[in-house]
Amino acid sequence: MMNRFFRLLTRTGLAAAAGLWLVLPAQAVVEIDVNRGTVEPLPIAITDFLSEDGLGKQVSEVIAADLARSGLFRPIDSAAFIQQIDNPDQSPRFQDWTAIDAQALVTGRIVPDGGRLRAEFRLWDTYGQSQIIGEQFFTTPENWRRVAHIIADTIYKALTGEEGYFDTRVVFVDESGPEDKRIKRLAIMDQDGANLRYLTKGGQIVLTPRFSPNRQEVTYMSYADGQPRVYLLQLETGQRELIGNIPGMSFAPRFSPDGSKVVMSIGRQDGNSDVFTMDLSSRTMQRLTDTNAIDTSPSYSPEAGQIVFTSDRGGPSQIYKMNADGSGQTRISFGNGSYSTPVWSPRGDLIAFTKQTGSEFAIGVMKPDGSGERILTSGYLVEGPTWAPNGRVIMFFREEAGGGPKLRSIDLTGRNEQAIPTPNFASDPAWSPRLD
Amino acid sequence: MRRLIELSRNPAMIALVGALALTGCASKKNVPNSPADLGLNGAGSAQPGTSQDFTVNVGDRIFFDTNSSVIRADAQQTLAKQAQWLGQYPNYSITVEGHADERGTREFNIGLGARRAAAARDFLVSRGVSSNRIGTVSYGKERPVAVCDDISCWSQNRRAVTVLK
């Protein structure tokens, strides 16, 4: 079912939609420059979509919440609205919207259509007095949130020029029970915390789930057979598989950008760890590092030519970079403290990391050559960055002294940190790629 | 019905995008955890040769400095006693569990726990315990024995625990 859904949306939906955007004239007056250091959120009026029930209002609320959480938009309180939209096909009275300083306006309706829902929406440039986008989506009723996220992505892209990241999901580790008897379950949810579903039952420790590029699979580490070992999980069927007959422990898995390989750490007899890849079709392994050190947390560059990883071969753990065949290993982090969990941005321009200095942890970014280090947030424990597919937002987990871990997101300005709602404690988030 | 129709900016014209439900379910076996750490329950007169004897009278665990897998002098004494005891009771095999404190990141700590377990194993082997009696496993920072947020706790969690089998 999910396969079919993904294929459909990939081939028919978003790919074609991208074509649509290309032909739109880029003449909108209203736009947001996400590259500026400080961004004043754009005031936007998101009216309740017309519907025979409460669903239209719910769709609008999901869109508004997505856009507000990005920090780039400020949805205007509907109490300030002057015009009541009763026919979304007609041009709005633009002066009623500029009067409350709504620079953009969203209108729409939800209509039952033969057992399905038809969602129509329009994005208006109020000062330019024109429609920026008008689109229509069909969906099954239970899938209404997904359509709201797709609409939010469409608005985000139209006004920022960047791809949106709202129609995405997060796989993470749900943590319940006392700290010394913690139950850990893999869970998956929408990026806003909705539609949570558990993927494992909590009988063994599971850690560090990561999506495959087609979002169909998750690779993760589990103690299912006593040792830390890397597994593959098919999201559609729930089928679970040990990644290979590897002696000793394997951990810190991550897919290659084309999904053909998993790169991971494998424990040595002497207690140290090296980085290997496993080709998933031939199940052959290739050694990439060979040192008397802990070499771990490998992450591919988006074009797959290079891999960043951490190693304590030179003292405290630092970030290293190598070619995808293991050649040319060079250290790129040189700041005070220790560095771990490097993750290459899907845009290729930055590497996110966890940094430990004294008693504090921080999440930061640096350029792939190690220059331009910037700390985005810090605390008693912050760990495990993962990138939104547009490379503008990072999710991680934060734990206060005496508390438990919870998921957070932060944008690259470091000014917009948001809590991601989860029912229990939560750690090790991995943001899904976008479908395209 | 799932065609996407290319349209203009005219309000009456709109693009069509189809979408289907997103469902699926996971089903898998429930595999129990391996045995938990042996507790230090302070029982006075343990039967010689029992796991309680080992835990109470020998000491089942050693501790490490921050980020280190060096066997300290106090740990060498404990491991020497463990080796002696294991020589006396050759029917036991053991698993050495390596642990890290919470002041490190998850994946690195898996590596660090493995290094500590291997260091303890190698010391036991150097004191005459056959390597084929010894298995190792790293729990990283996943199994803290002391739960609080200060240095005394962290030092108790940086440990290698010898579990009799």
CB–CB contact B147 A9 (8 Å): no
User: Where in chain B does DSSP place strands (E)?
Assistant: 15-17, 61-63, 94-99, 134-140, 159-164
Average pLDDT over residues A57-66: 98
Q: What is the pTM of this model?
A: 0.86
Helix, strand, coil content of chain A in percent (nearest 5): 15, 40, 45
Which residues lie closer than 8 Å to A45 by C-beta, 6 or more apart? Answer: A75, A76, A78, A81, A97, A100, A102, A104, A105, A106, A126
- Other beta carbons within 10 Å of A167: 25
Q: Tokens standing for A195?
A: 């539609």
C-beta atoms of A310 and B34 within 8 A: no
- What's the DSSP call for residue A80? G
B52: pLDDT strictly greater than 90: yes
Q: Which of A344, A343, A337, A345 is nearest to A361 (CA)?
A: A337
Q: Between A323 and A403, name the one with better pLDDT.
A: A323
Nearest CA in chain B to A209: B107
Residue B53, pLDDT above cutoff 70: yes
Q: Please tell me the predicted confidence (pLDDT) of residue A288.
A: 98
Overall average pLDDT of the A393-402 stretch: 95
The CB density around residue A46, as the number of other CB atoms within 10 Å, is 30
Short-list A281, B70, A297, CA closest to A289: A297
CA distance B88 to chain A (A): 27
Going through A316-392 in order, the beta strands assigned E by DSSP cover 318-323, 330-331, 338-344, 351-357, 360-366, 374-379, 381-387
Is the pLDDT score of A134 beyond 60? yes
Average pLDDT over residues A52-65: 96
Question: What is the phi/psi pair of residue A39, to 5°?
Answer: -115, 120
Question: How does the average pLDDT of chain B come out, rounded?
Answer: 79
Rounded mean pLDDT of B152-160? Answer: 90
A142 to A185, B26, B50: CA distances (angstroms): 25, 19, 59
Between chains, do B108 and A340 touch, taking CB under 8 Å as contact? Answer: yes
Could you read off the pLDDT of A407-433 as tens digits, one per residue? 999 999 999 999 999 999 999 999 999
With contact defined as beta carbons under 8 Å apart, do B145 and B156 qualify?
A: yes
Q: Would the pLDDT of A5 be above 90?
A: no
Are A179 and A404 spatial neighbours (Cβ–Cβ below 8 Å)?
A: yes
Classified as helix, coil or strand, A26 is: coil
The three-state secondary structure class of A414 is: coil
Reference A260, options A220, A228, A212, A314; nearest CA is: A212
A-chain residue closest to B144, CA distance: A180
More confident residue, A26 or B118: B118
A195 φ/ψ angles, rounded to the nearest 5 degrees: 60, 45
> What are the Cα distances from residue B107, in Å, to A160, A234, A295, A297?
36, 23, 10, 7
Considering only the beta carbons, identify the residue of B9, B24, B138 that sits closest to A1: B24
- Nearest chain B CA: its distance from A228 CA (Å): 7
- Cβ distance A165 to A388 under 8 Å? yes
Could you please report the per-residue DSSP string of A134-180? EEEEEE-GGGHHHHHHHHHHHHHHHHHSS---SS-EEEEEEEES-GG
Q: What is the pLDDT of residue A247?
A: 86
> Quick one: average pLDDT of A134-162?
95
- Kindly state the tokens that stand for A152: 């939010």
- Least confident segment among A175-184, A197-206, B92-101: A175-184
Under 8 Å CB pairs connecting chains A and B tally to: 225
pLDDT of A199 strictly over 70: yes
Mean per-residue pLDDT over chain A, rounded = 91
DSSP state of A35: T
Does the B51-164 domain belong in CATH 3.30.10.20?
Answer: no
Polymer length of chain B: 165
Pick the residue from chain B with its C-alpha nearest to A354. B105
Contacts of B21 in chain A (CB under 8 A): 1, 5, 140, 142-143
Q: Which one-letter amino acid corresponds to residue B116?
A: R
pLDDT tens for A80-92 read 999 999 998 899 9
Contact between A384 and B67 using a beta-carbon 8 Å cutoff = no
pLDDT confidence of residue A31: 67
Which chain B residue's Cα is nearest to A358? B103
The candidate with the shortest Cα–Cα distance to A179, out of A425, A434, A373, A378, is A425
Tokens of A54: 């409460």
Q: Which residue has the tokens 């995405």?
A: A168
Lowest mean pLDDT among A157-171, A388-402, B24-38: B24-38
Task: Lay out the sheet containing A183-190: strands in order across.
Answer: A197-198, A183-190, A169-176, A425-431
> Strand A425-431 and strand B15-17: pairing?
unpaired
Contact (Cβ atoms closer than 8 angstroms) between residue A88 and residue A122: yes
Instruction: Give the separation between CA B124 and CA B75, rounded to whole angstroms.
Output: 11
The mean pLDDT value for A288-310 works out to: 98
Question: What ipTM was assigned to the predicted interfaces of this complex?
Answer: 0.89
- Helix, strand, coil distribution of chain B in percent, nearest 5: 35, 15, 50
Give the contacts of A230 (CB within 8 A, at least 6 positions apart): A219, A220, A221, A242, A243, A246, A250, A251, A253, A262, A264
Cβ distance A179 to B144 less than 8 Å, yes or no, reads: yes
Residue found by looking up tokens 């409460």 in the block:
A54
- Return the residue in A296, A355, A386 with the most chain B beta carbons within 10 A, the one to mutate for interface testing: A296
Q: Phi, psi at residue B137, to the nearest 5°?
A: -150, 145
